[in-house]
Structures are given as C-alpha cells and as structure tokens.
C-alpha cells in the first residue's frame, strides 16, 4: 500500500542577490520560500520507520539554500531550478509546489512582496 503525503518547509528566509537591477546584485534583497512536496510513501517504509522510503527534508533545505546563493535575474528561473532539483532527490516525490517571495518595498513602497508560484509534476518536463 502507498500513503500519499505532503512534506513541507515553510518560511525559509534569507538574503540573496536575485534581480535585474544593479542594486539587487550589490546589496541583495530579502526572500522567503515555501515548498510543498507531494510524495508517495510505501506502508513498509512507515512500518520500518525508514527514512530511505520518504524525503529527507534536511537535504531539500540544503539544496534550496545552495541554489538561492547563485545570483539569477528571474525569480521564475530560481523557482524552476529548485523544483527540478528537488524532484531529482527521490522517486517518491510526485509534485513540487514552490512559493518564492521577494521583498520589493524598497522599489514599491506600497507593496511588501512580489512572488512566483510554481507547480512542477514528475513527468511533465
């Protein structure tokens, strides 16, 4: 039997250097990321209490932090790269949903965040 589950990391906050404006590349901007992984876990893995049958969310976190350190113009590119990389971590991951928020209040004082939301399904590439 397979159990459908969601593994989520919410509120990953860090400063990064994404964007098209020189100031964003020089000073950086605050970002926040939420990620939701739709997974299928075998009941055997659950009964055996075995991490290898599910997703190691510490590995997901480290992948995200490492990718966020690589400067990129488009948030869409960052989010897409993270989604593809996370899917490659485990066959148990069927779908990845990402929300990547960027603090834009420096440029748009009446707006706190701009964000991109992606859903990437296994086999859709």
Q: Does the predicted TM-score (pTM) go above 0.85? A: yes
Distances (CA, A) of 70 to 30, 93, 95, 117: 14, 24, 24, 19
68-110 confidence digits (pLDDT tens): 999 999 999 999 999 999 999 999 999 999 999 999 998 899 9
CB atoms within 10 A of CB 12: 16
- Under 8 Å between Cβ of 71 and 31: no
What kind of architecture, by CATH, is found in domain 2-121? 2-Layer Sandwich (3.30)
- Give the model's confidence band at 125: pLDDT under 50 very low, under 70 low, under 90 confident, else very high: low
Domain boundaries, the chain: 2-121
14-68 confidence digits (pLDDT tens): 999 999 989 889 999 999 999 999 999 888 878 888 777 889 999 999 999 999 9
Residues 83, 39: Cα–Cα separation, whole Å: 14
């Amino acid at each position: 039997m397979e159990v459908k589950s969601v593994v989520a990391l919410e509120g990953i906050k860090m400063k990064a250097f994404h964007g098209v404006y020189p100031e964003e590349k020089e000073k950086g901007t605050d970002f926040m990321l939420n990620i939701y992984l739709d997974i299928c876990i075998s009941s055997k893995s659950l009964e055996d209490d075995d991490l290898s049958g599910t997703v190691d969310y510490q590995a997901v976190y480290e992948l995200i932090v490492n990718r966020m350190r690589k400067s990129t113009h488009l948030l869409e590119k960052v989010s897409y790269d993270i989604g593809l990389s996370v899917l490659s971590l485990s066959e148990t991951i069927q779908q990845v949903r990402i929300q990547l928020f960027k603090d834009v209040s420096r440029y748009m004082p009446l707006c706190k965040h701009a964000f991109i939301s992606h859903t990437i399904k296994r086999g859709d590439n």
